[in-house]
C-alpha cells in the first residue's frame, strides 16, 4: 500500500498522533509545527505531501487560498480547539477537505486522514446540516460574513441542499438524483463557495 505523507502544523497534534499512528506504516507524519505560514507553503511546494493538517487558530484562510494556487494536489484538514458553523463554512469555502476537533480520538484522526486522502470530505454530518441551515438563514440578512450579491445556486445545487436538509447521506442523495457520490460532494462545495465570504486577502506567495 502506498504511503500517505502528512505534514502536521501543530506540536500538540503531532505529539499525540506520532505514537497513535505508529502502527499505520503507510501514514508518514512529518512535524512542521514551528514553521511560519510562508515556510509551510514552501515546504508543501518542495515535499508535495498528500495532506496538510492545519491549525484553525493560525492565519489558515490565507494559507488555504495560497495552497490552491501553489499546491493544488495537497489536501488540507483544518482542526480547532472548538469550532462552529462559521469556521466550518469558511474552511470548506476556502478549500479545506475536512474539519476536525483537535482533541479527536486517534481512530477519528486516522479515518479522516484516509478518507480525505481518497478524495472524500471529512465533516460531522450533523454539523454540516446545521452549518448549511445557519448559512442560508443568515445570508438573507447579509451580515459582514457574506457578499452583498451572493452567486446564484443552480437548480441541482438547490436539490442537493434540500436533501441534505432532510438528513440524507451523500450516498442517499446520489441515488435519489442518479448521480455519483463525488458529484454530490462537488455540489456541496460549490454551495459553500457561492454563499460564503469572499475576503480580499494578501496572499503569502513568493
What architecture is domain 126-195? Orthogonal Bundle (1.10)
Phi and psi at residue 142, in whole multiples of 5°?
A: 50, 60
d(Cα 25, Cα 101) in Å, to the nearest integer? 24
CATH number, span 4-123: 3.40.50.2300
Q: Does the pTM exceed 0.85? A: no
Can you list the pairs that 44-49 forms with residues at least 24 positions away whose Cβ atoms lie under 8 Å? Answer: 44/7, 44/70, 44/71, 44/74, 45/70, 45/71, 47/5, 47/7, 48/73, 48/74, 49/5, 49/6, 49/7, 49/74
* Model confidence pLDDT, tens digit, residues 90-135: 788 788 999 988 888 888 899 999 999 998 888 877 777 777 777 6
Does residue 89 surpass a pLDDT of 90?
Answer: no
Band of pLDDT at residue 81, cut at 50, 70 and 90: confident
CATH 1.10.10.10 in the chain, residues?
A: 126-195
Amino acid at each position: 500500500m502506498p504511503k500517505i505523507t502528512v505534514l502536521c502544523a501543530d506540536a500538540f497534534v503531532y505529539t499525540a498522533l506520532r505514537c497513535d499512528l505508529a502502527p499505520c506504516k503507510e501514514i508518514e507524519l512529518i512535524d512542521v509545527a514551528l514553521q511560519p505560514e510562508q515556510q509551510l507553503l514552501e515546504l508543501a511546494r518542495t515535499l508535495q505531501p498528500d495532506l496538510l493538517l492545519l491549525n484553525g487558530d493560525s492565519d489558515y484562510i490565507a494559507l488555504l487560498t495560497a495552497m490552491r494556487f501553489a499546491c493544488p494536489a495537497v489536501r488540507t484538514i483544518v482542526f480547532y480547539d472548538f469550532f462552529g458553523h462559521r469556521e466550518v463554512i469558511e474552511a470548506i469555502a476556502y478549500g479545506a477537505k475536512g474539519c476536525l476537533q483537535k482533541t479527536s480520538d486517534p481512530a477519528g484522526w486516522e479515518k479522516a486522514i484516509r478518507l480525505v486522502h481518497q478524495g472524500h470530505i471529512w465533516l460531522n454530518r450533523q454539523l454540516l446540516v446545521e452549518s448549511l441551515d445557519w448559512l442560508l438563514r443568515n445570508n438573507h440578512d447579509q451580515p459582514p460574513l457574506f457578499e452583498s450579491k451572493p452567486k446564484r445556486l443552480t437548480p441541482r445545487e438547490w436539490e442537493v441542499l434540500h436533501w441534505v436538509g432532510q438528513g440524507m447521506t451523500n450516498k442517499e442523495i446520489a441515488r435519489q438524483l442518479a448521480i455519483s457520490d463525488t458529484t454530490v460532494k462537488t455540489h456541496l462545495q460549490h454551495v459553500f463557495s457561492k454563499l460564503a465570504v469572499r475576503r480580499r486577502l494578501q496572499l503569502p506567495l513568493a
